[in-house]
Amino acid sequence: MTSSNDDTWNPNVFFTVMKIAVGMSGGVDSSVSALLLKKGGHDVIGVIMRIWDGRYSMPARKNACFGPDEAEDVASAQQVCDHLGIPLHVINCAQQYEEFVLQYFRSEYIAGRTPNPCVRCNHMIKFGLLPKLLREKGERFDLFATGHYARIEFNQSSRRYLLKKGVDPAKDQSYFLYRLSQEQLSGIIFPLGEYHKESVKQIARDAGLSVSDKKESQDFCSGDYGAILNAENREGPIIDSHGKMLGTHQGIWNFTVGQRKGIGVAFSEALYVIKIDPEHNAVVVGTRDEVRRSRCMVSQINWIAAEKPESRMDAMVKVRSTDQGNPATIELTGPDSATVSFVEPHAAIPPGQSAVFYDGNVMIGGGIIASVE
């Protein structure tokens, strides 16, 4: 079936009955995804990953992905699958999650950068390891689905799968998916890409799903980051942009570029973290004007819309998931690196975070912010 653009095909819309594995989370979005596919006549199975093994000391909090209340999410997913009459596979991914996500998270913070564990988890664990381990258990399925608010289309001219924003601008999650490969995109569907969140909740209520009003995850872990970082205090200076000492900190990993609250320095106007200097164990702070930057260097870029993009292009660039996007010029400096120059200075561009490029609703690609100017 073609979309409004005759050159693209939307794999979320199909007529052939398929066997589809749905990555369950115990929340409303993945549950409604399974429901919609089941109602569409497909052979649906559920799968949920265990990533908590109890090695960290942190409180249970129901609005986080990683934490000691994971058993409740598994129970919720099982209840939904029982209600829908589909099996649920529970797969232990805790060791791989520790190796590929938490160790990365730890090393980035200690190095003075701000990591994005959800991006890494999606690429390596949720859309990589999880379906792989499910197949190794003997399950054969055609497609893997999740409750993400995003869309996938296949472009006939470029012969590439495109990743697009979900139609609900308040819930679009494409930013977190930019590292997915063409191979991964070819085997994925997002049943909620064309839906708004309130419609999804209403579908769950109408179907009598127990998770219809369950609070969704707001962070990736349920405690403060200290439990994961497991770093001893290391006192260092808090300085202004001229090198004047304003106070001390107990570890650069407690700060991120753009941070305003919790700096611990009294000043005549609001101060922001404008730089983290791991070499000198220093946190540099400044005013709102000083935290604004016009350019950043991006590395490890994953190009989605085109295998060989133009060497210079204009795009809307998001440097955090909550951004609406800011106009910028992207100039390639290598096959997977570029300089991003914003039309207007951008407030707080944290090294380690992701810069994701869009042409309207279509994602061009994205990479890791290496440095800022």
296 is catalytic: no
121 is catalytic: yes
Helix (H) or strand (E) holding 8: strand 8-9
294-372 sits in which CATH class?
A: mainly beta
3-state secondary structure of 76: helix
Predicted pLDDT at 70: 92
Predicted pLDDT at 265: 93
8-221 sits in which CATH class?
A: alpha beta
Q: Which residue has tokens 């979005």?
A: 29
Q: Which residue has tokens 């990589």?
A: 128
Per-residue pLDDT of the chain (373 residues; tens, 9 = 90+): 333 345 665 655 555 789 999 999 999 999 999 999 999 999 999 999 999 998 888 877 667 888 888 999 999 999 999 999 999 999 999 999 999 999 999 999 999 999 999 999 999 999 999 999 999 999 999 999 999 999 999 999 999 999 999 999 999 999 999 999 999 999 999 999 999 999 999 999 999 999 998 877 767 886 678 888 888 899 999 999 999 999 999 999 999 999 999 999 989 899 999 999 999 999 999 999 999 999 999 999 999 999 989 999 999 999 999 888 999 999 999 999 999 999 999 888 999 999 999 999 999 999 999 999 9
Quote the CA–CA distance of 65 and 320 in Å, as a whole number.
Answer: 19
Taking each helix axis as running N to C, give the angle between helix 28-39 and helix 197-206, from 0 to 180 degrees, rounded to the nearest 10.
70
Domain ranges within the chain, ordered by starting residue: 8-221, 232-286, 294-372
Predicted pLDDT at 15: 54
Q: Which residue has tokens 């869009």?
A: 358
What are the CA-CA distances from residue 347 to residues 257, 297, 350, 352, 369 (Å)?
Answer: 10, 15, 10, 16, 14
Query: Considering only CA atoms, which of 162, 71, 113 is closest in space to residue 277?
Result: 113
Predicted pLDDT at 2: 32
Quote the CA–CA distance of 54 and 60 in Å, as a whole number.
Answer: 11
- Please give the structure tokens belonging to residue 301: 């870029």
Residue 243's Cβ-count burial label (10 Å; 0-12, 13-18, 19+) is: exposed
Quote the CA–CA distance of 337 and 297 in Å, as a whole number.
Answer: 7
- Is 294-372 the same fold as 232-286? no
**How many Cβ atoms are within 10 Å of 37's Cβ, its own excluded?**
22
Quote the CA–CA distance of 203 and 195 in Å, as a whole number.
Answer: 11
| Fold topology of 232-286 | SH3 type barrels. (2.30.30)
Active-site residue (options: 65, 81, 118, 121): 121
The pTM (predicted TM-score) of the whole model is: 0.93
Active-site residue (options: 81, 93, 118, 221): 221
